[in-house]
């Protein structure tokens, strides 16, 4: 546990935080003194574990089952989080899923669901939180994208497009929000050992490992510190940026 208290007194909402990167961010934020609300989709057992872990750290926690692409459900979830925590200072749009499919085999249904979860979900949650942040004159929105948005990859056209959209949204909203004290940035990780990666083929995994200078995939806990920095005063001069902890797969 951290003793720096970088987020003491802050309240965060994290989407898709019952496991993987979202759960790692939730626990890292809690370690830094932040109260946590989060959502999941049909993952109640894992969500309960994360909630207990947050509360074991002495922080208030709220959890909801919510499809982030549902324009009715998202404002209800946000209102519940706001009531439980007393407000939302930090939003982390993390909910997402991944799938490997060639472009020729990609259906409209595949495309629409990927865009709905990643891009529409980021829009809906941001819209539900943004106004109150502007009125208060302080807020942080951190959008979790993917390095695939920056370089493209075989078999994931819909995933790359959805995450590229998130980065575009990040830049545009950052310009609108900064004058009101709302800083919007993105994190675009490289390959991380989560359930999303586990659903990909052995061939894909082997090819990706061969490309990485570090020769390994990240753990979720290696991505969380970037989100902590952006949420804290250490990130006060980051506006519309995309930070990519990726093991050297992309070198900017």
In angstroms, rounded to a whole number, what is the distance separating the alpha carbons of residues 66 and 89?
20
**Count of other CB atoms within 10 angstroms of residue 183:** 23
In angstroms, rounded to a whole number, what is the distance separating the alpha carbons of residues 178 and 137?
10
Q: What is the DSSP letter of 218?
A: B
Name the pairing type of β-strands 242-243 and 90-93.
unpaired
Which residue among the candidates 130, 159, 237, 238 is catalytic per the annotation?
159
Joined tokens for residue 128: 């539900």
- The residue count for the chain: 252
- Let me know: does 13 contact 128? Beta carbons within 8 Å: no
Please indicate whether residue 159 is annotated as part of the active site. yes
Closest to 148 (Cα-Cα) out of 104, 98, 111, 107 = 98
Residue partners of 107: CB distance under 8 A and separation at least 6: none
Instruction: Point out the residues that are catalytic.
Output: 159
């Amino acid at each position: 546990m951290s003793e720096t208290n970088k987020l003491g007194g802050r309240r965060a909402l994290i989407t898709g935080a019952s496991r993987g990167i979202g759960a790692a961010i939730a626990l890292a934020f809690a370690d830094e003194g932040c109260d946590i609300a989060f959502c999941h989709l049909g993952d109640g057992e894992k969500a309960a574990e994360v909630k207990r872990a947050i509360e074991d750290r002495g922080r208030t926690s709220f959890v909801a089952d919510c499809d982030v692409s549902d324009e009715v459900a998202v404002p209800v979830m946000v209102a519940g989080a706001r009531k439980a925590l007393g407000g939302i200072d930090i939003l982390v749009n993390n909910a997402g899923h991944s799938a490997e499919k060639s472009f020729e085999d990609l259906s409209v249904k595949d495309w629409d669901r990927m865009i709905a979860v990643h891009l529409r979900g980021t829009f809906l949650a941001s819209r539900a939180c943004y106004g109150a942040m502007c009125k208060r004159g302080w807020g942080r929105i951190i959008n979790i994208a993917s390095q695939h948005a920056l370089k493209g990859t075989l078999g994931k056209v819909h995933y790359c497009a959805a995450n590229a959209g998130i980065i575009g949204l990040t830049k545009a909203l950052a310009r609108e929000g900064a004058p009101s004290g709302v800083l919007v940035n993105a994190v675009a990780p490289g390959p991380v050992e989560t359930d999303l990666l586990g659903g990909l083929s052995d061939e894909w995994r082997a090819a990706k490992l061969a490309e990485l200078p570090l020769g390994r995939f990240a753990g979720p806990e290696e991505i969380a510190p970037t989100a902590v920095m952006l949420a804290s005063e250490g990130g006060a001069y980051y506006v519309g940026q995309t930070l990519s902890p990726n093991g050297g797969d992309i070198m900017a």
